[in-house]
Structure 1
Amino acid sequence: MGLGLELAGTNATWVFEHDRIEINYSSGLGHPRLLRKLKHRTIPYHAISRATAAGGDGHPQLSLHLRPGADPLTEIAAGQLSDDSEPNQIELEPNQQELAAYYADHINDHCDLNPDSDALAPRFLVEVDQSPRRLKGYDGEASFDGSAVEFQWHPDASRVKHRSPKRRHELTELVGVEWVKPGLTSGHFLLVPHGDRNEAPPADNIRALLFGFGFGTTANSLPFAAAVLAAIQQAQPKLTALGAGPVPRMLPGAPQRPEMSREEILATIRELGQLHADGILTQQEFEAKKRELLDRL
């Protein structure tokens, strides 16, 4: 399949070329911010393990399942994205179930030609934008210039972070990245160094930027983390030359609860109260988070 054949969906348009699928995401305000931020992605056929069609009773969906280690973005996301924000999925109209199955079969025909379609990719096969960028977090900012990540801490950052003289972390010092999806008062971006990890909670880890309270949104922080991870792999070519596969990275798990002082807990409750007063949090959400914080006093 090739020659620019197009499949138009409600969230994206896929263009099928002879060796790749070009994905152009819908830009309307009703679509997920992450996809609008990405705008476009190129998925080579040799990065795909298989395709599936589902959702016969409603809007059919055609999904690409990529090879492990093939895509820094989905490696970092590690299943934390909601269905409507999945970058490798297209949603079609209710009467297009057969069309979804047709394209899934054709994609799988390409996959069948690749004997390594189910194998770990030797390196990232899907390119991500690695241009210099900045990321604002709750307790600071991270900047990426292509060769290092540098942190600048806000006044609300922990004393540990402010006291550390090390703010710049060269890519050659790092082995991976951890990203935990931002929540109301949770989530983080963390650099994983070679050797022994700093087991301090993200609030006190000099290689971690906290999210929450609207900072570090998925649309901003996930592409940032993917760019850093891809650059880490490129900065260490010997790993792939020796057959070691992609640069490893920590799989995100349940976010750790940072240690907070009494003053920080009370200040956070006051901020939550303001969010409730502004109508951003419901009474139930405010009371649940307030009880959780009070339990930590």
Structure 2
Amino acid sequence: MTRMGDVLAGNNAEWEFEPEAVVIRYSRGVRGVRFLQALGERRIPHDALDGAELLDGRRGTAVLRLLPRPGADPVVEAAGGQLKENADPYRLVLPEQSRTLAEYYRDELRPLIGPQARDAAGDGPAERFLVAPPAAPRAFKAYDAKALFDGRTVTFRWFWTGASSAKWKAGDQSFPVEELSGLDWRSPELLHGHLRLLRRDADEQPGEADQDPAAVVFGLGYGPVHESLPFAAAVLAAIRSARVRP
């Protein structure tokens, strides 16, 4: 593999290659994507990757992309394929003149990642998250509530100006992660964006998000991706961790 500490700098991030991981630091410039900036720095173990590819980018650029292993990254799992291309945390956009260098790093990485680099027990989706989640505590404003997460409990505090009468009557809600089975994040950039918590003891299918006390609704300027998705990823990681906690 490349020497420890080798760094490949792109337009949107820089990647540092370690013996067993790739450390990604996202651009903090004024033209950077706010969601990636919110992620800051991430360490991606080789076991969390299924491959690497080099693609043609736009306007004379090349794109070096890592292929995340299913189940390994809480951000990817929470996003559910809804991120726009420029917000993909596994893309490094490079000027065309850096293509040869990108090919070199791709070829150096390939023998170290993917099913062929793991033993038989490590084949297939990861059984637990291998990439650290965004740190708690976290909070953001949805259209109908303020959502808070302290690392163990999710709290929704309703806004009287936005919450439905059903939510207002139910009162503010608190959900220990031990009582949750998962969550559903629908991007605020799509119609009916929301964050819904899935309860273990739910006996029936939840209704519309604006009527469900276990959900908060997004809207123009409310629940932006750079706030609500790291929040969702942190909660999802805590839910998974609670499953295996003794």
Normalised by the length of structure 1, the TM-score is: 0.76
1:225 aligns with 2:229: no
RMSD: 1.8
Further displaced range: 52-61 or 121-130: 52-61
1:179 aligns with 2:179: no
What's the CA shift for 1:177?
1.2
Contact 1:185 1:211 in 2 (8 A): no
What does residue 147 of structure 2 align with? 142
What does residue 204 of structure 1 align with? 211
- The structure carrying a bigger strand percent of its residues is 2
What does residue 7 of structure 1 align with? 8
What's the CA shift for 1:172?
0.6
What's the CA shift for 1:134?
1.1
What's the CA shift for 1:115?
3.4
Work out the percentage of aligned pairs sharing the same amino acid.
Answer: 39
| 3-state SS of 1:49 partner | strand
What does residue 162 of structure 1 align with? 168
What does residue 258 of structure 1 align with? none
Distance in 2 between the 1:202 and 1:53 partners?
Answer: 40
Distance in 2 between the 1:198 and 1:154 partners?
Answer: 25
What does residue 129 of structure 1 align with? 134
Shift of the 114–184 alpha-carbon distance from structure 1 to 2, 3 Å rule, reads: closer
Distance in 1 between the 2:146 and 2:235 partners?
Answer: 15
Contact 1:130 1:228 in 2 (8 A): no
What's the CA shift for 1:38?
1.2
What's the CA shift for 1:183?
2.9
1:188 aligns with 2:194: yes
Find runs of 4+ consecutive structure 1 residues off by over 4 angstroms: none
Normalised by the length of structure 2, the TM-score is: 0.92
Distance in 2 between the 1:127 and 1:168 partners?
Answer: 24
- Return the letter of the residue paired with 1:177: L
Distance in 2 between the 1:234 and 1:49 partners?
Answer: 23
**Structure 1 segments unaligned to the other structure (5+ residues):** 242-297
Any idea what the Cα deviations from partners look like across 1:161-186, whole Å, max 9, x if unmatched?
11114611110110111111103863
The one of 79, 82, 85 aligned to 2:81? 79
Any idea what the Cα deviations from partners look like across 1:245-285, whole Å, max 9, x if unmatched?
xxxxxxxxxxxxxxxxxxxxxxxxxxxxxxxxxxxxxxxxx
Contact 1:69 1:120 in 2 (8 A): yes
